[in-house]
Amino acid sequence: MSQIWKYVRVTPSGGRVRGVPARSSTTSISLPGTPDHLSSQSTLILRFVMSIMEHNGGSVVAMAGKNCVAIACDLRLGAGAQTIATNFEKIFPVTDRMYLGLAGLASDVVTLREKFRYLTNMFLIKESRPLEPSTFAHLVSSTLYERRFGPYFCEPVLAGLERTPSGSYKPYIVGTDLIGCLNFAKDFIVTGTASDKLFGVAEGLWEPDLEPEDLFETISQTLMNAVDRDAYSGWGAVVHVITPDKVITRTLKGRMD
């Protein structure tokens, strides 16, 4: 997803995929030694192509700790390279013990947020029992898969505490791709334009059984250092640490450029 320079086949008609905004630079660069196994009808060129997933930028990361979980996002909203707003939160509360992060196309972030709020409220009305993360994860998955052949351009991350039959809570974090394939993890989940950098930093900093304050430090350092190397994410961050009895929410300032 994070490949910015791409070989693009250009046909005389200039065929462009409908519904996908053309975010290519105006001048295309011809490539020396273009592979010429293509017909003369179309040419293969290297172009600055921005996928729709990167159009608005933004990243989300979630981490599991000891009896707690944390989830954090950056605050940038862009339109390509231009920054539009620096107050765009990508994490939303679902219940007292569960937050959902959405990275990807900002339009779909808002649409999905509203849709999930509607679906969870309807669940509470009809079932009159608390919504658990494992239940909600499958709701997210099936909602996204409903649009299998015209997906929402969003990769959600879910962080919450699952209630066990004994009455205690255990950390639950899960991510999905844009068509709802669930990806469970014991350690951390990353998504967004800085996901590759987040993987690296998280791999280095995360360790098992972190207490809430240590988990806060770990996730904050992970996100801040990753987005500093990503032009499409940044402009501060919001971190939520979820414990059985409370949620700690903090807004961070970073390199504001």
Partner 1 sequence: MECSFALTGKDYVLVAADTTSARSIIKMKIDEDKIKTLSPHLLMAYSGEPGDTVQFAEYIERNIRLYHIRNLYPLRPQSAAAWIRRSLAESLRSRHPYSVNLLVGGFDTADQSPHLYWIDYLGTMATVPYAAHGYGSYFASSLLDRYHNPDGTLEEGLATLRRAIDETSKRLIVAPGKYMVKVVDKDGIREIEL
Partner 2 sequence: MEAISHAGTVLGVLAKDGVVLAAEKKVTGKLLDLSEAKQGGYGGSGEKIFLLNSNVIGGVAGLTADGNSLINYARSAAQQHLLNYNEDIPVELLAQRLCDLKQGYTQYGGLRPFGVSLLYAGYDPHYQFQLYHSDPSGNYSGWKATCIGANNGTAQSLLKQEYKDDITVEDAIGLVVRTMSKTMDSTTLGSEKLEFAVLTLDPETKEPKAKIYRPVEVDALLVKHGLAKKDEDTEMKTA
Residues binding partner 2 (CB under 8 A): 114-115, 117-118, 121-122, 124-125, 128-129
Supply angle C-alpha 200, 205, 210, rounded to 5: 140
- Binding partner selected for residue 213 from partner 1, partner 2, none, CB under the kind-specific 5 to 8 Å limit: none
Taking the least distance from each CB to partner 2, the nearer of 114 and 209 is: 114
Which residue bears the tokens 């791999």? 203
- Residue 240 tokens read as 């939520």
- The DSSP secondary-structure symbol of 29 reads B
User: What dihedral do alpha carbons 77, 83, 84, 89 form, nearest 10°?
Assistant: 20
Which of these segments, 103-111, 184-192, 215-223, 225-233, binds partner 1 (CB under 8 A)? 103-111
Q: Which of 111, 116, 120, 1 is nearest to 51 (CA)?
A: 1
**Which of these segments, 2-10, 107-115, 178-186, 212-220, binds partner 1 (CB under 8 A)?**
107-115
- Which partner from the list partner 2, partner 1, none does 128 bind, CB cut-off 5 to 8 Å by kind? partner 2
H or E, element range at 111? helix 106-127
Give the integer Cα–Cα distance in Å for 166 and 209.
Answer: 20
Q: Which one among 1, 10, 79, 248 touches partner 1, defined by CB under 8 A?
A: 79
Whichever of 5 and 118 has its CB closer to partner 2, that residue is 118
Q: How far is CA 228 from the centre of its chain?
A: 17
**Contact residue for partner 1 among 6, 34, 66, 114 (CB under 8 A):** 114
**Residue 155's binding partner out of partner 1, partner 2, none, with CB under 5 to 8 Å set by partner kind:** none
By the rule CB under 8 A, 128 interacts with partner 1: no
Q: What's the helix, strand, coil split of the chain in %, to 5?
A: 25, 30, 45
Interaction between residue 158 and partner 1 (CB under 8 A) = no
CA pair distance 208, 176, nearest whole angstrom: 22
Structure-token pair, residue 22: 């053309």
User: Could you tell me the two tokens for 138?
Assistant: 């499958």
Q: Report in angstroms how near the CB of residue 153 gets to partner 1 at its nearest.
A: 10
Nearer to partner 1, 110 or 247 (CB): 110
Residue 40 interface partner, choices partner 1, partner 2, none, CB cut-off 5-8 Å depending on type: none
The option from partner 1, partner 2, none interacting with 84 (CB < 5 to 8 A, set by class) reads partner 1
Residues contributing to the site for partner 1 (CB under 8 A) = 19, 21, 55-56, 77, 79, 82-85, 87-88, 105-108, 110-111, 114, 150
